[in-house]
Structures are given as structure tokens and as C-alpha cells.
Amino acid sequence: MPHPLFDKHRALLDQAQAAITRRTHWSPYAENPRVYGETAMDEGQRAFEAYRDAQFYLDQPGVQGRGGEEVSPYGLALNLSYPCCNPDALIDVAKTAMPSWVRAGIEARTGVCLEILARLNAGSPEMAYALMHTTGQSLGLAFLTGGPQAQARGLEALAWAHREMTQIPEQAEWQRNVSQRLEKRFMVAPIGVSLIIGSATQPTWNAFPALFASLATGNPVIIKPHPTAILPLAIAVAVARLVLKEAGFDANLVTLLVGNPDGPLARDVALNQDIRLIDYAGAPDFGTWLLDAARQARLFVEIGGVNCVLVDSTYDYNALLKNLVLSLCLDSGQLRATPRVIFVSREGVQTPEGLISDGQFGMDLAYALGKFLEDPVRAVEVLGAIQSPATIARIRAACDMAEGVANILRYSSPLDHPKWPEAHVHSPLLIHATADQGRLFMEERFGPIAIVVSTANAAESLALAEATMREKGALNFLVHATRPHVQQLAEDVALREGVALSFNLTGTVLINQPAGFADFHASGANPAASCGMIDAAFVAKRFYFSQVQRHYLPPSSIDWVVDL
Amino acid sequence: MPHPLFDKHRALLDQAQAAITRRTHWSPYAENPRVYGETAMDEGQRAFEAYRDAQFYLDQPGVQGRGGEEVSPYGLALNLSYPCCNPDALIDVAKTAMPSWVRAGIEARTGVCLEILARLNAGSPEMAYALMHTTGQSLGLAFLTGGPQAQARGLEALAWAHREMTQIPEQAEWQRNVSQRLEKRFMVAPIGVSLIIGSATQPTWNAFPALFASLATGNPVIIKPHPTAILPLAIAVAVARLVLKEAGFDANLVTLLVGNPDGPLARDVALNQDIRLIDYAGAPDFGTWLLDAARQARLFVEIGGVNCVLVDSTYDYNALLKNLVLSLCLDSGQLRATPRVIFVSREGVQTPEGLISDGQFGMDLAYALGKFLEDPVRAVEVLGAIQSPATIARIRAACDMAEGVANILRYSSPLDHPKWPEAHVHSPLLIHATADQGRLFMEERFGPIAIVVSTANAAESLALAEATMREKGALNFLVHATRPHVQQLAEDVALREGVALSFNLTGTVLINQPAGFADFHASGANPAASCGMIDAAFVAKRFYFSQVQRHYLPPSSIDWVVDL
């Protein structure tokens, strides 16, 4: 069934499908804010300001009151409330909305999803401010990661979904012999109501793949944002509902679930028997609970882990240091892909200028970090602000834990933000530990905390990295090595533990900025995530092919059928 | 990486891939035994006889003794033993064998799998006897379903796997700008050791999709056959090991796990942390336990349910009855796809000859069944023998339960097999119950037991069928209806409950003979199964794309690299 919105965006979808099979660089949505218009960022800011001190409007059913207590990590008062809806009411309307959405067919659903993405893209400046003042990301990073790159991830999931849905014809004539002749019809059918539990630090980047994969394959979606980052997903839900309505579909295919912040809302709704798909990216405690408790649903859970770095040898020592500093500072370590532990051997780092001892490496890294922080305007653009008081507490706890037993290479301290005096900005904490201090480094310390670990040699570095990633999970493994045998051993480790491996990154290619349409962000093969992102399984698990077959009527029956 | 076995079988794989996207009739392996040679069945029988009173040879590690106590449902003594291996030993060698299998690449693995299928196909006659004397299937059905059709299902899974594995290039050059230029390499990487827990009634048909999906995607496979049906899977394992060895791979990529029949072997090994994929088709108690307990693994579980039939109206009443009788008799109801409950309204069945009352329908069905059973040679070829004493006990229990409270339309009785006097052959039990007797019909009664249920009208039939399938699960829904609104309501039910819907089957198109490369055998959307079979998710969940990226070297570094 053709659909005008599908035809409108078909060229983009074709490009996206080519991109997922080519895996070269491709940005479907402009990453430079100026492309959105000379005054686009100013207009975005005004649109954001309009949300403040106001009631966010959503015409959802089952409203029981209003809630939402977001506080900007930059100190800006938001004073913004959302309708709190009864989750059972949202599930009921979702189920009601589903059948006609399913029967509308692949092209209608895909077309509507593409239109939602186009509207979201147009709203990127407004979204950037919403993300900045909920997640603490710098405006530039919020725009890039939470805007065009998050939309690109949504498009990537949509391209996979469309590809997997269209592998089977809608109709087939099956004939074995004269009497065995059947007409078979196939239809993409959804698994059921899809719940997306939002992340506090990357709400759009994490939610969009799930949103578009679920919606395109016929599942209604309920988005439960993190209580500290509601606005970005509320905006996305409002856009989706508007487009659905305009296209003649039930807006309740996408709803926002905001609850009493004290209530056990996410846990309750996650166990509802009608919730059949759950996507979650966030802290390990809730993710592990989900994997254990939500047995009725298919789960897509990313909880992160301890991403490891191995520094063995390099072509360019200074470029290595600079790249590491940028990765450690990016969004103050509040990305699940941030490197957490850096293994360096007491045999030293081989560089073109000679061997650098492990101790010298730690000092050099701390020095490079200090140099980077010297320019506060540049620094806060990379660091952003700390989203949660728990992260600030985590810095302090890590420092207390290390003090006396390990060497603190660089203390964390509050930094002044040139523009936002109330912003929670803290420089990264850098600790130097020894190989036997697993209790220090074999733990994800989400935030601006990194630990250099001295080992006996490259083999011990590899073994410790492997043990850490196997036990705690990891998304990626960054290895600086020029020696072929170290590279080969690292590849073996990465394959065994299911982590994406990067060699010798320098410049602004950061390990914690996975590239849409090229990189797989998680493998599902270690505890960091229960699925790969984004791949065939990520979309194929959200639907099945429903099948109706009927015998072709024998000619003698036809008259009688008409009589009936 | 090209591989001679891949080149050898490439044409067949190409055909299979076209078939899964076309979904018309296609049989890759000949279904007529004569095609295998004039004397092929005799030779197959001799090969089978050679296994009797002997020790099945498998050069697996960790042998702790010998076991196996299979008894032919036809009364033939098998007296056959297998090596019992320590499961930890099998897991260890599987893990050791994995890396080189992974690095061999997609074409080598797919080629080896295609060669295994070709060898299995050549051995179809021998396999037919092995299946007959373990599962109780008639020789004809054992040949067809357990031979070429089981191999076709293996090929179907392999075609899906190859398709999903080859969606991504092995290498991509990613460049954003002059300094951001990376070489990315992608490799299909397995999830881990795959455990297949064999079925008692359809061991090869159920195991082959899992075997080839797991093996092709790089996972070593341990097959734990049902204690009563070891031989068919032992033969398959021996064939796989031989082909692996001949192709220069570690034979321990496929092993057979046979244990002390009293021990809790399957449950123990299913919880082993190194078992990452588990396939199971069989009784609901073990399947439900697996879904609950085996948290470390990705599960592909089929436990069946209560497949429903709705008889509303028909173009050809006699053809309807004959088709139903064949479906109820096929393999004595020992197929998970067998219809269990037949809803018929007290408003009667509309036929070209006029209305047939529900009571008359029940009697007509019983009469048609009796007519079919009058020719014992024909009857046993369809019925086969009863595999398990538990099934015979289930017939008795169902009869006891119904007697006095429901109408027994036809009692089950032992039948003499014209050739095997000791064979356990029983005619189907046919009960007529009322709509309020859910405790009689809302339960899978695996075996030759069917229940006709009288309802007030078609709407109640639909509602009861839906409630039954939702609560107990179902693989399929057979509807005899000529009235468009009944068909439409049935389609709505089928879509909501995730069951494959068939209208008005007559002749020898049986609801319990799903067609390879055309039908989806389960949806994963109701309790009958946790996954669809065979679709993209069935294969895509068994691997991920492992990724290695590296910066292209800046030219200034090259000299120094060479110096090292």
C-alpha cells in the first residue's frame, strides 16, 4: 500500500538502506547548526524558554494530575510540569490504536516515522536547549548528539526495520500439485506494547532507535522518561503524536508516561503483562533488575560496563595523550562508551622518541588534562555539566577510596563555567592504581573518573582488560599498539569478549562517539548490553510475519458462494 | 574467503535464498524415496539394522561410560549404546574449537553446513528407519518429515543465516574529513556454545534449523537428544563431525551429549554459564522451566499449545470431514501443530446441502474417522505408533475425565499393526464437550485426543478459541468458513493472538504439515513458542558483528613502523 509520506521521504530511506550496508561515513541530518538557518539557534532558545514556567501540553487520556521536577544542571529554574497519566489507561489506548496501525501497512508506518524524524530534525535547535538543561551536556554536544545524531540513529533503526519487514512478499501462490493450491498472505505483525525507559544523560540518542524500530514494526510505544530528563522526550512524543494525528492515525500510538517521582512507576509498568517490548539504557541496577524480573517482555537493555584502554606503543605519543584527554573529558564521562581504565605496562610505552615509563605516562596524561582545562571556554564545551548529584558524590567516593592506597594523579575540582555560575562543572579525577587493586578499577564509575593501572607487561594488561570486560561488560576497547602481536592478541580478546576494538585513535576520532550507519554500539555478547545496536536482531525481535492461507476455490464451488 | 564446499553448493544456496523471499512451493531435497535409488530403502534398512545390538561410535572426549535405552514403539529391540561424555568436557572442547571456526569466515562455515546437509540427505533412508523406531512415526512419514523436510528446514535456516550474515561488508573505509579516516573491519562473531535439546517425536525436524543456524553463525553446538530418540541425532552428529573433520575443522564443533537417563542432565547443562544459546521443542513443563531458569542463554523454545479449529460453514462438507480426520490421525496427534479442539455452533454448520447441527457434525466426524480406520494398512501409515507410554496414559486419563460429564463420540482402542504385532497403535479418542467445560478442552492433550466443543454461535466459538489460544498458546488456527464476516473476525483473532490462520483446508493440505520455505511455523507472539520459526530473528540472535577499526597511518609514521 503506497503512502504519500513514504513517497515524500523515500529517497532518504533508500540512502539510509544503502548506508547500513556500506558502513562508510554518512550523516543524513546536517550536523552544523548554521545549516538550520542564521537565526535557528536563537529561535530554538526562544522555543525552549516558552516551555519554562509552564504546563507542557499533551492531550493524553487517564490524566491523574501533573508532575515533573526537572532541575537544570546549569542552575536554570525550569518550573515545568507534565500530565501524569495512569499507565493502565495508556496501555489500553495503545492496544486500541494498534490494529489499524498494523493494517495500514509497512509503507504508511515507515512514511509516518520518516515524517516524525523530519519534524524532529527541524526542531533540533529547540531540542538542543532542552537536552542541555536536563542532561547537562554542553549546547554544542547536546545539539550534535541529541539532535542530528540521535535522529540518524532513529533513521538507522528504521532502515533496518524496513529492510527486515520487506524480505517477505505480501502474497504468494503456493502450489504443490493440482489439488494442493493455496493463496498465502503475509503481514508484519507487532509483538505488543513497547515501553521505552529513558536515560538521564542521553535521552534522545538512546530512545530514538527503539522508538522507530518499535513503531515502524507496528508496536505502540509508551515512553517513560527519566525524572530528571523529561522535556526532550516530551517534545519528541508531542511531535510524534502530531504527525500521527495529521496522517489520520491514533495519536495514542505514542504516549508519555510521567509519574509521581516517589512512586515505583517504572518497575510497576515494566512488569505489566501487556508490555511486550522494553528498551532501557541506563544504570546497571535497574537494568539488571529488568533482565531478571520482566519475563513477559523482550528486552533491549544497555547498562554499560568498564571500557578498557591499553597503552602499549604508539606512532605519536602526544596525539595519543590528546585523544585520551578528549575522550575522558567528553560530557564529563557521562557516556556509557567513555573509557574508564587505562592499562599501561611497567615495561613502558614504546614511542618514536623512546620508552616512556608507566609512571611518566600517568604524569603526562595528568599534565595533558591540565593543559586542556586551562582554557575554560573550550573546556566546558567538552565537559558540559554534571547531570546528577550522585555523580558528584561518586567522584568524592572514588577519591576517598583511592587516597592512601593509590596515587591521585589529578584531583577533581569544581570549575567555574564562564556563562552559568550555578553550573555543576567538575574536572576529571585521575587515579593511578596497581594491577592488584581490582576493587578500584573493576567497577564502572560513571562520571569524570578514570584510573590508570600499572601492570607487569602487555600480557598482563591484556589479561586484566579481558577479565574486567568479561566480568563487568564493556562497549569498547581502545588499544594503542604498533606491535603486530599485541594487536593480534587484542583482537582475540575483543572477539572473545564481544567488545568493539579501536586501534591507535588520535585527533578528534573519539572512542565514545560511535558513528551512525557505521559502528555497532553494543554487541549483546557481554554484560554491557543484552543486544547489539543497531542490527537485524534489534528490529526483527519486534515483529513476526502473520500468515493467512486459503485454498483456492474449486470452480464447482463458485456459483454456490455467490448464492450465499 | 572463498571455500570449495561453498562453491560446490552455491547454486542450491542461491535457490534457497530466492525461495525464502518468494514463499512458493519448493522442495530442495527429493521427497520420493525412489529418487534415492531403487534399492535405497533396503540399503537404509540394512544400515539401520547394523546399529542394533551394537555400540554407536563417536570419538568424543570426556567419555565416562556408555548409555542409551531406546525402545522401538514398534516393539523392535534396539539394544544400542552411546558414549556418555562429561558435559563440561564437551563445553571445553567446543570453546576451544570456536575461534578457528569463526575466523574461517562465512563461506567456509556455510559451505561445510551445506555439505553436511547433502550427506544427511543421501542418508535419508537410513534416517527414516532410525526415526521410525525411536519416534513411532510410520516409515513413510519418518522419511518425509524427518528426512528431506527436516533437511529443507536446516537449509532454510542456513539461507536466512547466510542472508543476515552477509548484509554487512567485511571492510569499510570511513572518512569524515582529512584527519578522521578509519579502516573498519566487521566479522560475524558467535554468541557462544549452543545447546540443542532434542524432541522425542520430531528430533531432526526440530533440531536441524537450530543446528545449522547456530553452526553457520560460528557457534559450536552440543546436541542433547531426548533419551527415547537418540539414534537420529547421533547419526546427524556423526555426519556433521565427519564433514567437519574432512574439511579440516575441529570435529568437536558438533557433539552429542547422552547421559545417565536418571540424572538431571538437561537441567544441569542448560544452566551452565558457558551455554549461551538453547533451542528446545517439546513438552511445556521443561520448556517453561527453561524460560524461567536459563537466564544466561538466548532461548528458542517451542512448547506447543491448544491449536483450535472453527467449523462455521463450508463449500464441501465431506472434504472438510476427510481433511480433519487426516489431520487428527497424522502421527497420532504427536505433532505440536495437530488440531486439538474443534468449535462448532449450535446454530449448525452451513453446507451446500443445508444446515448440519452441532450434534450431527460430531457424529459425522466420528463416523468419518471410523471409515478411515477401516483399512488398517492405510490407517497405520498415517497414525504410526505411539511414542511414549505417557501418551497412552493421557488417552486413558482424558477418557476417564470426560466420561459421565461429556459425550464420547468415539472411544480410543488399540489397533493391530499389520506388520508389527507389538506396535503401540491406538485409534484417536474423540470427545464432545460444551462451551463451559474449559477444563476439558483448554489444555494441550498431546496425542490422539480431540475435543469437539458446542457453542452458542460463531461469535462464542471465536471468543473461546481466542481465549484458549491466548492462555495456552497455539501454533495455528484452522477455520472453515465461507461467510466473509466470520473470516474477517477470524483474521482479527489470528492477528491478535499470533497464530497462523488457514481457511477451508481440504484434500491432503494438512494444517499440521507446515511447508518449508513458505510457512512460518511459530510466531513467538503467544505462549506456544518464544520465537518465530524460521525468520530473521531466529538466526540474527545467534551472532553479532564484531568490529575492529584503526586509523589510517599518517604518511610520516610509515618509516618508523618499518624500523620497529
Please name the residues in contact with A554: beta carbons below 8 A apart, sequence gap of 6 or more.
Answer: B315, B316
Has residue A550 got a pLDDT over 50? yes
Q: What is the pLDDT of residues B29-47, one digit of tens each?
A: 999 999 999 999 999 999 9
Span A458-483, average pLDDT: 97
Q: Return the pLDDT at A551.
A: 85
Q: Which amino acid is at B542?
A: R
Preferred mutation among A551, A552, A563 to probe B, highest tally of B CBs within 10 A: A551
Decide if B544 and A525 are in contact by the 8 Å CB cutoff: yes
Closest-CA distance, B172 to chain A, in angstroms, reads 6
- Contact indicator for A405, A437 with CB cutoff of 8 Å: yes
Of residues A23, A495, A507, nearest to B546 (C-beta): A495
What is the CA angle B61-B62-B67, rounded to 5? 105
Q: How close are the terminal C-alpha atoms of chain B, in Å?
A: 30
Facing residues of B454 across strands? B344, B434
Which of A192, A536, A549 shows the shortest C-beta gap to B536?
Answer: A536
pLDDT tens digits for range A19-54: 999 999 999 999 999 999 999 999 999 999 999 999
- pLDDT of res. B562: 38
* Distance of residue A41 Cα from the nearest chain B Cα, in angstroms: 24
Considering only CB atoms, A546 lies closest to which of B21, B494, B550, namely B494
Q: How far apart are CA B564 and CA B558, in angstroms?
A: 10
pLDDT surpassing 80 at residue A555 = no
Residue B203, min C-alpha distance to chain A (Å) = 25
Structure confidence by residue, pLDDT tens digits, A508-547: 899 999 999 999 999 999 999 999 999 999 999 999 999 9
CA separation for the pair A138, A109 (Å, rounded): 34
Cβ atoms B169, A19 nearer than 8 A: no
Rounded to a whole number, what is the distance in Å from the CA of A412 to chain B's nearest CA? 31
pLDDT over 60 at A558, yes or no: no
Residue from B168, B551, B559, B560 to probe the interface with A (highest A Cβ count within 10 Å): B551
CB–CB of B550 and A21 under 8 A? Answer: no
Nearest partner of A176 among B19, B513, B25, judged by Cα: B25
What is the rounded end-to-end Cα distance, in angstroms, of chain A? 30
Shortest Cα distance, chain B CAs vs residue A445, angstroms: 25
| Domains assigned to chain A | 38-303+529-548 (3.40.605.10), 307-503 (3.40.309.10)
CB contact (8 A) between residue A182 and residue B509: yes
CB contact under 8 A, B546 and A498: yes
Interchain proximity B525–A544, CB inside 8 Å: yes
Interface probe, candidates B315, B466, B559, chain A, greatest A C-beta count within 10 A: B315
CA distances from A44 to A53, A77, A123, A372 (A): 17, 18, 7, 30
Using a CB-CB cut-off of 8 Å, the residues of chain A touching B491 are: 548
Residues A161, A163, A167, A168, CA torsion sign: positive
Q: How many beta-carbon pairs under 8 angstroms link A with B?
A: 223
Percentage of chain A modeled with pLDDT above 90: 94
Residue A563: the pLDDT is 37
| Cross-chain Cβ contact A548/B503 below 8 Å | yes
* pLDDT tens-digit series, residues A125-184: 999 999 999 999 999 999 999 999 999 999 999 999 999 999 999 999 999 888 789 999
Residues in A touching B349 (Cβ below 8 Å): none
- Residues in A closer than 8 angstroms to B519, CB to CB, are 184, 547, 549
Q: Is residue A195 scored above 50 in pLDDT?
A: yes
Sign of CA dihedral A315, A321, A322, A325: positive
A221: enclosing H helix or E strand: strand A221-224
Contact: A495, B549; criterion CB under 8 Å: no
Q: Residues of A with CB below 8 A from B549's CB?
A: 500-503, 519
Task: Please list the residues that pair with B307 across neighbouring strands.
Answer: B339
> β-strands A522-523, A500-503: how paired?
unpaired
A210, A199 Cβ separation under 8 angstroms: no
CA distances from B387 to A1, B31, B373 (A): 48, 24, 19
pLDDT in tens, B171-223: 999 998 887 899 999 999 999 999 999 999 999 999 999 999 999 999 999 99
Return the number of other C-beta atoms located less than 10 Å from residue B479's C-beta: 29
Q: Indicate the residue of A180, A507, A546 with minimum beta-carbon distance to B180.
A: A507
Query: What is the predicted pLDDT for the residue at B559?
Result: 44
Q: Do A518 and B491 make contact, defined as CB atoms within 8 angstroms?
A: no
What is the distance in angstroms between the Cα of B516 and the nearest Cα belonging to chain A? 11
Distance CA B287, CA B544 (A): 26
Q: For the segment B469-502, what is each residue's pLDDT rounded down to a tens digit?
A: 999 999 999 999 999 999 999 999 999 999 999 9
**A519·B186 Cβ contact <8 A:** no
- CA dihedral sign of residues B87, B90, B95, B101: negative
Grid coordinates representing A242? 502530531
For residues A266-279, average pLDDT: 95
Q: How far apart are CA B500 and CA B502, in angstroms?
A: 7
Contacts of B477 in chain A (CB under 8 A): none
Task: Output the pLDDT for position A552.
Answer: 76
Are the Cβ atoms of A172 and B23 closer than 8 angstroms?
Answer: yes
Confidence of residue A564 (pLDDT cuts 50, 70, 90): very low
Contact state of B189 with A495 under an 8 Å Cβ cutoff = yes
Which residues in chain B show pLDDT less than 70? Answer: 260-264, 553-564
CB contact under 8 A, B550 and A504: yes
Nearest to A33 by CA among A131, A123, A152: A123
What pLDDT does B553 receive? 63
Is-contact A31 A144, C-beta < 8 A? Answer: yes
For cell 592504581, the residue is A433
Round the average pLDDT of chain A to a whole number and report it. 95
CB contact under 8 A, A553 and B315: yes
Locate A547 and state its grid cell: 500468515
Residues 6+ apart with CB under 8 A from A559: none
User: In this predicted model, what pLDDT tens digit does every residue of A433-445 receive, in sequence order?
Assistant: 999 999 999 999 9
Task: Please give the share of chain A, as a percent, with pLDDT higher than 70.
Answer: 97
The string of pLDDT tens digits covering residues A369-399 is 999 999 999 999 999 999 999 999 999 999 9
Asked whether the beta carbons of residue A520 and residue B545 sit closer than 8 angstroms, the reply is yes
| B494: nearest CB among A180, A495, A548 | A548
CA distance A558 to chain B (A): 9
Answer whether B172 sits within 8 Å of A22, measured CB to CB: yes
* Residues of chain A found within 8 Å of residue B213, distances taken between Cβ atoms: none
Q: Which of A536, A545, A553 sits opposite B540 (nearest CB)?
A: A536
Q: Which of B547, B559, B563 to mutate to test the interface with A (most CBs of A within 10 A)?
A: B547
β-bridge mates for residue A159, sequence order: none
Average pLDDT over residues A337-363: 97
CB contact under 8 A, A23 and B544: no
